[in-house]
Amino acid sequence: MKYSEMSKRQYLFYILIHPVTGFEEMKFNRKGSLKIANLLCVLFCFAVIFRQVLSGFLFRAQRIEKINVIWSVLGCVGLLFLFTLSNWLFCTLLDGKGRLPEIWIVSCYSMLPFILISIPLTILGHAFTLEESFFYTAMTVLLYAWSGLLLFIGTMSVHQFNISKNIMTVIFTLIGILICLFLLLLLFTLLRNVYIFGVTIYNELSFRA
């Protein structure tokens, strides 16, 4: 099937096997879809929560009662958004040709391997013993590597960078994410201190009254 005959949904799966050609065609022939990207973002959140809650005992990172679904969703969406924003800001300074919606589409599309394989792998993890846990970990690493490779190739394609320049911008993007997280932490701490101060003043006034 030719590129021009593929629907946007068919093209999504074509990118999994042919990321270089796929992301190039997505940029220049507008095969990407914001609606599909947003749907993938939702499915990515679901896959992460499914993995956190239903992982086998050997592979569970924390107890189920300590899992906060809201924070998990905010973490997934926030991470994709911060990567998109940070990458766009730095690449704009370095003459990148990618637009903000294109980077968001690439970021969400790159999560497709995780979405497709994570849930079956999580279910399969219940059948692994401690001696076989290496295979589960290896498959998990390969899963993350596949999504990471798609993200790397996708950003390189939309910005029309070479490999060395894209590596540099990815490093800058990660630094930008850390800076944003640090600023958000400062803002959260400041708001928390203001809230505590306000409650303290209110309680003091109420006591004196």
Instruction: Give phi and psi for 148, each to the nearest 5.
Output: -65, -40
Domain boundaries defined on the chain:
34-208
DSSP state for residue 5 in the 8-state scheme: G
Structure-token pair, residue 192: 């928390």
Amino acid 5: pLDDT: 64
The whole-number pLDDT of residue 4 equals 57
pLDDT along the chain (209 residues), means of 10: 64 83 80 87 90 74 73 88 91 84 92 89 79 80 90 90 89 90 89 85 73
- Give the span between the Cα atoms of 82 and 94, in whole angstroms: 18
- Say if CB 169 and CB 91 are below 8 A apart: yes
Determine the pLDDT at residue 66: 74
pLDDT at 196: 85
pTM metric for this prediction: 0.84
